[in-house]
Amino acid sequence: MFATGEGNTMTYRHWLAAFMMGVACVSIADAAGDKPRKAVVVDDDDANAPYKTFDSTPAITMGPLLLDVSEDSVIVEWMTDSPSDAKVLYGEAGLTEEALPQTDGLVPVGNVHRVILRGLKPGHTYQYKVASRRVVNLRPYWPDRGRTVESPVSQFTTFDATRPSTRFVTMTDTHEDVGRVRALMDMARQAKVDFVVHTGDGVHYAVNENQVKDKFLGPVADGLQGSIPLIYARGNHEYRGEFARSLGDYLHEQSGRYFYTRDQGPVHLVVVDTGEDKPDATNVYAGLNNLREYRKDELAWFAHVLAAEPRTKSAPFTVVLGHDPEWGWSDGQNAEWTRAANAAKVDLYIAGHLHRLERIPPGKQGNDFPILALGQDQVAQVDATATELKVRVIDRTGKILDAFTVARKAK
């Protein structure tokens, strides 16, 4: 069956490895129905390895997804169907660099993989692919290993505050409607955006990892195709459910929080976590919320970064991104958030939560800036230059529901 003469040897083992390389792969179909992208199984069986190697390969079940991009870093996140290690191969001119994560000196082994690429250059485009090798048995010595799966090569571009313009879309309250997520992501891709914002309530309430993957992160990752970064702001529904306390493992920004700032072109982005929409003492929370202290600390951060970060004054525009257009429940301090935003001359606040489109003009709620609350089946496309923000709200049929321009003001 297999030739065994000198110079023409192929054992069954080698034939099987070659066969696996050629045809054993996992399809990762994108949301637009384009040609499926293939995750490749790597034959890394080393006869000299001091541990057992099994013919067991993980499958990539979500991603890769780019989260929280900055001018010099980005989170690359993906999931596998079995415990594995993780690394990212990347570079500008080929995959010349390798990022291997560690936690307290140990390479993480699990089904969820988050690797932060650091030391990148602003406005540069990088190629990358992710790789996970199966860990069959995590013995204290000579753990049993399996094979490696690699994603297709994708690329991304880091943020760059010196760019003259940027375009992004925001969406909100997708609430586990996979068709909605896919349609809105299609719109984002067709608009050729630099990044996408989701302002929360991707789930009704957090139950488990499979729900978060299948109803939110998976469809988002499919739509963004490993090349468009996601900026995420937590919604109030992400506070609810038995898995809510674990969501940070999937959705935190790089320093482990839900509130942060980023800069892209003429826009200074301030992402806030508006918390729950009811007081901590509300009976349904059974005394297990402490938003009073959390939001107090966040408000102090919000006022500080708006007053102290140089980009708040030097950037042509400051845009706040959050879930609740009324700042959420803040123990009676909601007006303080507006005052801090007014003092910093914030230009626009984009939110959701209401499940309907509403534009709150300057002055209506003590605000000196427009507040835009999106509905569920809509995106806001924002085009920013050094002189103006152009905003269009578009529904899934392509109909323009609202359009307005914010002119640059002195700061």
Average pLDDT (286-304) is: 97
Residue 384 lies in a domain: yes
Cα–Cα–Cα angle for 215, 128, 265, rounded to 5 degrees: 80
d(CA 212, CA 190): 25
User: Phi and psi for 65 in degrees, rounded to 5?
Assistant: -120, 135
Other Cβ atoms closer than 10 A to 157:
19
Q: Which residue segment(s) compose the domain that 109 sits in?
A: 12-157
Q: Is residue 124 located within the same domain as residue 176? A: no
Q: Give the global pTM.
A: 0.89
DSSP state of 106: B
Q: Is residue 333 located within the same domain as residue 238? A: yes
CA distances 180 to 63, 204, 243, Å, are 18, 14, 23
Mean pLDDT of the chain: 91
Judged against a pLDDT cut of 70, whether residue 361 lies above it is answered with yes
Tokens 């082994």 correspond to 109
Q: Is residue 134 located within the same domain as residue 206? A: no
Q: Where among 104, 137, 157 does a domain terminate?
A: 157
At 325 the three-state DSSP class reads: coil
Judged against a pLDDT cut of 50, whether residue 32 lies above it is answered with no
Predicted pLDDT at 42: 76
CATH code, 353:
3.60.21.10
Judge whether 265 and 158 are in contact, CB under 8 Å: no
Chain segment 175-225, per-residue pLDDT in tens: 999 999 999 999 999 999 999 999 999 999 999 999 999 999 999 999 999
Average pLDDT (356-370) is: 97
Chain segment 129-139, per-residue pLDDT in tens: 999 999 999 99
Cα–Cα–Cα angle for 375, 381, 382, rounded to 5 degrees: 125
Residue 205 lies in a domain: yes
CA quadruple 28, 186, 33, 175: dihedral sign: positive
Judged against a pLDDT cut of 50, whether residue 290 lies above it is answered with yes
Residue 5 lies in a domain: no
Q: Is residue 185 located within the same domain as residue 148? A: no
Q: Is residue 195 located within the same domain as residue 313? A: yes
Residue 2 lies in a domain: no
Q: Is residue 265 located within the same domain as residue 152? A: no
Q: Is residue 197 located within the same domain as residue 214? A: yes
Judged against a pLDDT cut of 60, whether residue 261 lies above it is answered with yes
Number of domains in the chain: 2
pLDDT band at 40 (very low <50, low <70, confident <90, very high): confident
CATH code, 21:
2.60.40.10
Percentage of the chain exceeding pLDDT 90:
86
pLDDT band at 38 (very low <50, low <70, confident <90, very high): confident
pLDDT band at 45 (very low <50, low <70, confident <90, very high): low
Q: Name the pairing type of β-strands 348-351 and 371-373.
A: parallel
CA within 13 Å, CB half, 115: 27
